[in-house]
Amino acid sequence: HVKVVEVGPRDGLQNEKAVIPTATKVQLINRLAAEAHMSHVEATAFVSPKWVPQMADNAAVLRDITRVPGVTYSVLTPNAKGLAGALAASVGEVAIFGAASEAFSRTNINCSIAESLARFEDVMRVAKQHNVPVRGYVSCVVGCPYEGPVAPSKVAEVAAKLRDMGCHEISLGDTIGVGTPGE
């Protein structure tokens, strides 16, 4: 089963230098749902605005979108503080993200793979208490910009830990785009 989760409003915009107005983000999300008929849109992230200023308007984005029936609007929540903000904004699904590469994990989220998984335990516990489903991302499933090729066994290990924590879905990301049919 292949599912497409549109992450453009979050991942596609988070590194833009100029701050994109909330109304523009809302229009993008609304059009992805209503016109492009995307069934799942990752709308924003509840992360520190110090590190990702583009996501500082996360609650306003969720408040202002026009929710299309049958469309899941999820958000990225890397920690308990992010989850608290997402819950206050009435989110329907959250996502956590880890990596199959130790170097990528340390560079991207400033901790080891094991430490990142430990951080997610609080997110999982609170999300479960609020009946909010959690999708788990595994980044660098084929290759890493710092380590090179990533062992499939490492990907399977991280995915299994996310599954065992209670993630209802695991998303495997070819973060740097090196996967080919021959891989």
* Residue 110 pLDDT exceeds 90: no
Report the predicted TM-score, pTM, of the whole model to 2 decimal places: 0.90
Give the confidence band of 1 by pLDDT, cuts at 50, 70, 90.
confident
Nearest to 114 by CA among 148, 81, 161: 161
Give the confidence band of 18 by pLDDT, cuts at 50, 70, 90.
very high
Q: From the CA atom positions of the chain, what is the Rg in Å?
A: 16
Strands (E), the chain: 40-45, 72-76, 93-99, 134-139, 143-144, 148-149, 169-172
Q: How far apart are CA 15 and CA 13, in angstroms?
A: 6
